[in-house]
Amino acid sequence: MEMLATIEEKAAVIPPIDAATPLKTVTATFALG
Amino acid sequence: MVRTRVGYAGGTKEAPTYHSLGDHTETIQIDYDTSQISYSDLLDVFWRNHNPSSRAWSKQYMAAVFYHDEEQKKLAEESREREASIRKEEIQTKILPFTAFYRAEDYHQKYQLRRERNLLKEFERIYPADGDLVDSTAAARVNGYLGGYGTSADLETDLNRLGLSAEGNRYLLRIVEYRNP
C-alpha cells in the first residue's frame, strides 16, 4: 500500500508532458566526435 | 524526442565509467516517437551537427552511428553515401552495429539543466530518484532550450506542459528570450 501511495503521489506531480509520453518508442544511438 | 541520455558504447569493457572508459566511445542515446520524427530525420540532424571528414583523435571522441537493426543500418549507410557524394571527401564517421550502452554518471546527464540550480531543484522535487529525472521528457526538453535550441515561441507552447512552477516558467522564458529570441 505504501508503495502504491508513493506511485500515486508521483503520478500527481508528474509533468503533463511526461504523462503524455508514448510507451512505444524506438531507440537511436549516435556518437558526435 | 521522448527521452535522451548520454553514455558509453561501442567497446568491450564491462561497466565503463568516465575515468575508466576502456575502448568505449561517448555517445548519446535517444528514444523517439516514430509518429513525430523518423530515423532519417535524426540522421539529418546527426550529419548537420558534426564534421564527418575529420579524423577522430581517439576512440572516446570518434563520430559514429550505432544501428539497432537492419533498417537503421540501411538508412545510415545510405545517408553516409549521400554525405560522401555531397562533400566529395572521405567520410571518417563510422556506421557500426549497436552492442551495449552504459549510461554515464548522473553528473553528465542533462548537463545544461544541472547548471541551472533553481530549475534543477524543481525537477528534483518531481523526480527524487536521479534516474527518473534523466528519463524525463520534460527535463530533456528544458535541457535543450537551455542549450540554445528552440525559440521562445516554441517554449511558450511547451511551457505549461513542463511541470515547472510559475516562477520556474518565468525564469526559463527569460533565459530563452535572451539566448534564442
Cell output for B47: 550529419
Superfamily of segment(s) B3-103: Peptide methionine sulphoxide reductase MsrA (3.30.1060.10)
Cell output for B75: 538508412
Q: Please identify among residues 15-44 of chain B the ones whose CB lies closer than 8 Å to any CB of chain A.
A: 25-35, 39, 42
- In angstroms, the CA B8 to CA B146 distance is 24
pLDDT band at B20 (very low <50, low <70, confident <90, very high): very high
Residues of chain B with CATH 3.30.1060.10: 3-103
The distance of A24 to chain B (nearest Cα, Å) reads: 7
Q: Is B102 on the interface with A (CB under 8 A)?
A: no
CA atoms within 13 A on the CB side of B60: 10
ipTM above 0.85, yes or no: yes
* pTM (2 d.p.): 0.89
pLDDT in tens, B89-98: 999 999 999 9
Q: Residue B61's CB: how many other CB atoms inside 10 A?
A: 12
Q: What is the pLDDT of residue A4?
A: 59
The radius of gyration computed from the CA coordinates of chain B, to the nearest angstrom, equals 18
CA distances from B168 to B103, B110, B175, B179 (A): 28, 17, 11, 17
Q: Is B153 on the interface with A (CB under 8 A)?
A: no
Q: Which of A9-13, A28-32, B55-59, B164-168 has the lowest mean pLDDT?
A: A9-13
Give burial (CB, 10 Å; 0-12/13-18/19+) of B113: buried
Contact between B159 and B173 under an 8 Å Cβ cutoff? The reply is yes
Fill in the amino acid letter for A5: A
Q: Is B3 left (phi over 0), alpha (psi -120 to 50) or beta?
A: beta
DSSP strand pairing (B101-103 vs B3-9): antiparallel
Q: Is A12 on the interface with B (CB under 8 A)?
A: no
